[in-house]
């Protein structure tokens, strides 16, 4: 196995929080490594961003491109891989990736975001990539001219429906609660559309098809009546789960598996910081994640300059 020298700082994840942290760490001239499976995180899923200061309108993909260009301008090292485990090793942190590579750092920022929750119904896994999708911003154009279903009546589900109703003959919104849960403004947009049918108090039982999705079976939660909807796409928009399992042995997670942090992005573990949607910060917004990433990097810098530098680390540089 290749031996990796110890870094001053490792950042896990390259969404808005991780990329902002990387820029701030670079400006503080910290020896930094970013480990991430992709770049952009959930920001890539946003079609219309109108609340990021400096841009009256920008797409998620465009904003992420600018973030990435900014990070690359500082020459920050990036390893593309998923992290499977983080451990405390003396006064440092060991990060293990899916290909069993091991990296050491004196400080760590976890900014790994969240991943989509699944329905866990028959047909969901079988038709993934063949009609089942989790990102309307990424995949909506593939379903132009086709009837589709969106599962979830929160903001993410309604945002997906708005994107899809512009290009699809008909969109079904399937929500298990008795009413939609998204913001009133986006609800009004959806409810005014002639090609949208809202099915509240309804749950998905099965996704059916042949080589591609052909229908979704739903059930009324009050009457138990079963109905089969003819659709060629199912977008699952029922929320997100924190990508935090790899760090659960180092820091205690809350009941939602988020990483608790204070106002300075500090966890209860010295040298371990967290930022963005993987934390318990209630505002899950791009601009909030970016700000938290900045705080985490500045906190990591303060932590590093105030602790003694190990002799072995100096010799390795």
Cβ–Cβ under 8 Å, residues 7 and 33: yes
Boundary residue ending a domain (236, 255, 270): 236
Question: CB–CB of 5/101 below 8 Å?
Answer: no
Which residues is 116 bridged to in the sheet?
Answer: 240
Q: If the chain, 317 residues long, is cut into consecutive pieces of 10 residues, what is the mean pLDDT of each piece?
A: 74 97 98 95 75 86 92 95 95 94 96 93 94 86 95 94 97 97 93 97 98 97 97 94 96 96 96 97 91 98 83 50
Which one from 31, 138, 220, 288 is the annotated catalytic residue?
138
pLDDT value of residue 284: 85
Q: Of residues 31, 48, 99, 135, which has the active-site annotation?
A: 135
Same domain, 140 and 229: yes
Task: Find the CATH number of the domain harbouring 19.
Answer: 3.50.50.60
Whether 77 and 160 share a structural domain: no
Are 231 and 298 in a shared domain? no
CB 7 within 8 A of CB 26: no
Which of 236, 268, 285 is the last residue in one of the domains? 236
11 and 60 inside one domain: yes
| Same domain, residue pair 162 and 220 | yes
Residues 61 and 110 in one domain: yes
Statement to judge: residues 65 and 104 lie in one domain? yes
40 inside domain: yes
Annotation says 168 is catalytic: no
Domain edge (last residue) among 236, 265, 292: 236
Q: Is residue 54 a part of any domain in this protein?
A: yes
* pLDDT at 42 (0 to 100): 80
- Residues 103 and 136 grouped into a single domain: no
- Domain count across the chain: 2
What's the pLDDT at 312? Answer: 54
Domain that holds residue 292: 7-116+240-316
Q: Which of 139, 159, 277, 292 is catalytic?
A: 139
CA distances from 258 to 9, 11, 252, 283, 295 (A): 21, 17, 9, 13, 18
Residues 107, 273: contact at Cβ < 8 Å? yes
139 is annotated as an active-site residue: yes
Q: Give me the pLDDT at residue 56, please.
A: 87
Interhelix angle 286-306/16-27, nearest 10 degrees: 40
Whole-number pLDDT of residue 49:
78
Tell me whether strands 233-236 and 132-133 are parallel, antiparallel or unpaired. Answer: parallel
Instruction: Give pLDDT, residue 136.
Output: 86
Other Cβ atoms less than 10 A from the Cβ of 66: the count is 13
Active site residue 245: no
- Whether residues 96 and 244 fall in one domain: yes
């Amino acid at each position: 196995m290749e031996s990796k020298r110890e870094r001053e700082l490792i950042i896990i994840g390259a969404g808005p929080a991780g990329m902002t942290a990387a820029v701030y760490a670079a400006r503080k001239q910290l020896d930094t490594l970013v480990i991430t499976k992709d770049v952009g995180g959930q920001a890539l899923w946003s079609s219309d961003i109108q609340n990021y200061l400096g841009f009256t309108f920008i797409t998620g993909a465009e904003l992420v491109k600018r973030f990435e260009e900014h990070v690359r301008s500082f020459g920050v090292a990036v390893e593309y891989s998923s992290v499977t485990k983080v451990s405390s090793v003396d006064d440092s942190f060991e990060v293990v990736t899916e290909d069993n590579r091991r990296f050491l750092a004196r400080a760590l920022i976890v900014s790994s975001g969240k991943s989509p929750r699944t329905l866990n119904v028959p047909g969901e896994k079988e038709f993934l990539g063949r009609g089942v999708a989790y990102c309307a911003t990424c995949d909506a154009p593939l379903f132009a001219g086709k009837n589709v279903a969106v599962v979830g009546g929160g903001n993410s589900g309604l945002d997906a429906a708005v994107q899809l109703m512009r290009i699809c003959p008909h969109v079904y919104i399937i929500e298990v609660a008795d009413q939609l849960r998204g913001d009133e403004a986006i609800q009004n947009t959806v409810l005014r559309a002639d090609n949208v049918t809202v099915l509240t108090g309804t749950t998905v039982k099965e996704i059916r098809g042949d080589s591609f999705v052909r229908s979704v079976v739903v059930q009324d939660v009050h009457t138990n009546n079963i109905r089969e909807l003819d659709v060629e796409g199912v977008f699952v928009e029922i929320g997100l789960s924190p990508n935090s399992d790899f760090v659960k042995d180092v820091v205690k997670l809350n009941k939602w598996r988020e990483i608790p942090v204070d106002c300075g992005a500090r966890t209860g573990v010295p040298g371990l910081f967290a930022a963005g949607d993987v934390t318990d910060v209630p505002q899950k917004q791009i601009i909030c994640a970016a700000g938290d990433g900045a705080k985490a990097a500045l906190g990591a810098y303060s932590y590093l300059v105030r602790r003694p530098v190990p002799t072995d680390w100096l010799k390795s540089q």
